[in-house]
Amino acid sequence: MASIFWVEDQSHWIRKFSPVLEHEDFDGKPNEIAVFQFAEAAKQKIALSEADAPPDVALLDARMNGNDQAGFTVSNALRKKWPKLPIIYLSEHSGTDIERDALEQFAATDFIAKHQNNVEQVLCWRIRAVLRQVSLDGDLASTVNVVTSGDLKIDLNSWNVYWKGRRLMNPANARRPLAPMPRKLLRELVEVSPRPLTAVQLAERLDLDAEKFTYASYRQHIKTLRRAFDAVEDGEGAFSDVCARGEGIVTFGDEGAYFWKPPAASG
């Protein structure tokens, strides 16, 4: 049985896709479709759901009831509850900033344009592909080269960094990935946690020129990381505030050092 969490505000799209989703054979068993026409209703359902009972896939509209951010607020709630849940957007706004933000800022698994030929078949193909990939990922989980710490995940194969299921991007340009040095630095802090690392110690661990990798450059990379985390948090500066309280990327003493302390789960 494929369990699909579907958020769509327009009834004619629900009527169009419901029969297909209900009767398509994804795994040889009847499918279970939960449909929500309002973002708030969907978020309430997520809040009341058990953390160990995620749906197989989420299907989201992006712009709902005149709000360009409605789908993204549901995505945030889903990622917070189930960080690994695959999320597919089914939208009329392909080729726009909405598609860009869904893929780059909100770590969408896929984005499907509603107005295209054979869209019903396309949707089923994509869902089936996602479910197959999830199955493969589960089989290979023990061999995947990933560093995790609380809500933080660093994929050492792709060097993508995820916080609460959302990919960290370059805070100066959200279309570009986080630069290599901040990612490497973060990995070192996570791997030696809870011990702090000075600039000299980091230079040694990363085989850098200690004369060039100064505390000033170290501090600048830390600022970049904190801003990248801030960008995927709900409020501007939220992660930096956590750091100031002694969690996340924490400033250590007067030695020009920092250490990683996984923030306590909120809520």
Residue found by looking up tokens 């809520």 in the block: 267
CATH number 3.40.50.2300 is the correct assignment for the domain at 3-142:
yes
For residue 58, give both structure tokens: 């989420």
Q: At what angle do helices 180-192 and 215-232 cross, to 10 degrees?
A: 90
CATH architecture of 146-261: Orthogonal Bundle (1.10)
Exposed e or buried b per residue across 60-85, where buried means at least 16 C-beta atoms within 10 angstroms of its C-beta: bbbbbeeeeebbbbbbbbbbbbbbeb
Sequential pLDDT tens for the chain (267 residues): 689 999 999 999 999 999 999 988 887 678 899 999 999 999 999 999 988 889 999 999 988 888 878 889 999 899 888 888 999 999 888 878 888 888 888 888 899 998 888 899 999 998 988 888 877 665 545 455 888 999 999 988 778 899 988 899 998 888 888 888 999 999 999 999 999 999 999 999 888 888 889 999 999 999 999 999 999 886 567 899 999 999 999 999 766 899 999 988 654
Q: How many residues does the chain have?
A: 267
Do residues 128 and 26 touch, judged by C-beta distance below 8 A?
Answer: yes
Q: Is the pTM of this model over 0.75?
A: no
Beta strands of 73-144 (E only): which ranges?
87-91, 110-113
Would you kindly state where each structural domain of the chain is located, as residue ranges? 3-142, 146-261
Determine the Cα–Cα distance for residues 191 and 156; give it in Å rounded to an integer.
Answer: 13
